[in-house]
Structure 1
Amino acid sequence: MTVAARKRRLADESDATFDRELDDLPQELRWREWMGRIEAVLFASASPVGREDLARVVGQGAPVEMLIEDIQAEVTGRPYELVQVADGWMFRTKTQFADAIKAAADLGEQSLGFTEMEMGVLCAIAYHQPIDRAGLASIFGKEVSRDLLARLRYKDLIASGPRSPRPGAPHTFVTTETFLVTFDLQSLRDLPDIEITSDFQHAGGSPSQTQDKTR
């Protein structure tokens, strides 16, 4: 039996033993149990959980979005919130508690810790993707180091895109789902309106504001 076949069999066996429908419970208790399951799955995940995965723990045809809305209403007064990010949902702490989190147990050391140039390059890739190193060099007026790009790759913020039409077909760079999650974006359409200009040519300076998105 192939690995894929074994995985399918295990999944089928799991579905057979896991009671999704909860038909033996009154409607109100069934709804509460479904809310609890979704909340538990979201708490256990460090990344956004998509609708398809959440639907596996509730009854067939159960309105996942309505269950999420009820959870969101229930946690309104708590220091965290349930938000939609990328193609799923996740819990995150509210920004007003950021200083408290950083002050406790040195949790602030777990931040991504961007340099100014890294942030500038990441911003350029986000707005001009797919873009190769030559394209980045034309924006910054100098070559962007492979080490800097490797650091962004290591943080899973960028990945390889399609080959560039330039001679030699160099690799291009695109942002990842981790990028969306890190900056609380549902999609690239949620990027703020900025213009990537020569402002970046000096160590990745801050871009100027404009009315048009450059992508």
Structure 2
Amino acid sequence: MAKETSVLDTELDNLPPELRWREWMGRIEAVIFASASPVPRGDLARVVGQGASVDLLIEDIQTDLNDRPYELVAVADGWLMRTRTRFADAIRAAADVGDQHLDLDEFEVAVLASIAYHQPLTRDGLKDIFGKDISRDLIGRLRAQELIATGPRSPKAGAPYSYVTTQKFLMAFGMESLRDLPDRGELEDAGLAS
């Protein structure tokens, strides 16, 4: 028996424009809601008509969600639904979900920031920045939390591994892309970097 495939009517020409727009909004919201990871714009474009602007549909959905306890946010080159931070205590109290914050000390955050700003970066590159060896254990902890991953091999002797930040890093810090990293000059002015 051949598997039957259904074709999604993306144009919705049978609907008046107002209802068509609402249906497209519903489709985008449903796709994002059902996904555990950020949904790229291209994936969303596949469920709406040719002339529909995904960005305008997203803006209308965000407006609809203004008074809701969850929001639609751009992270890691895609869109994701998440609860608003002001409801975190209520969620923990009701669901006993525990604390989901990152378990990083100040030095681990500094190493992670160095990788983010200088990636791909080897352990030797980290040593140049910090003036001391960075342990494999620290790198392993950052990898275990899926905040960094192995990048391309360095062209230096021995071809050491380099490290790059991950999509989970972007999600954890609420960034759409690395372009959202604070400007280094601003960090220096605030006394957070030298």
Same fold? TM cut 0.5: yes
1:49 counterpart residue number: 39
* SS at 1:186 equivalent: coil
1:211 offset after TM fit, Å? 4.3
Query: Within 5 A, what are the aligned runs for 1:3-14?
Result: 14=5
Q: Report the identity percentage.
A: 63
Give me the whole-angstrom Cα distance separating, in 1, the residues matched to 2:81 and 2:92. 18
1:91 counterpart residue number: 81
1:193 counterpart residue number: 183
Give me the whole-angstrom Cα distance separating, in 1, the residues matched to 2:174 and 2:132. 30
AA aligned to 1:153 is R
Query: Within 5 A, what are the aligned runs for 1:99-178?
Result: 99-178=89-168
RMSD (CA atoms)? 2.6
Which consecutive unaligned segments of at least 5 residues does structure 2 have?
Answer: none
* Residues 134, 143 of structure 1: 8 Å contact kept: yes
Give me the whole-angstrom Cα distance separating, in 1, the residues matched to 2:94 and 2:105. 24
Query: Within 5 A, what are the aligned runs for 1:12-51?
Result: 14=5, 16-51=6-41
* SS at 1:104 equivalent: helix
1:67 counterpart residue number: 57
The TM-score, its normalising length taken from structure 1, stands at 0.77
* CA shift digits 1:47-76 (9 cap, x unpaired): 111111001111223211111111011111
AA aligned to 1:98 is A
Give me the whole-angstrom Cα distance separating, in 2, the residues matched to 1:99 and 1:170. 44
Give me the whole-angstrom Cα distance separating, in 1, the residues matched to 2:183 and 2:99. 30
Give me the whole-angstrom Cα distance separating, in 2, the residues matched to 1:131 and 1:114. 19
2:187 counterpart residue number: 209
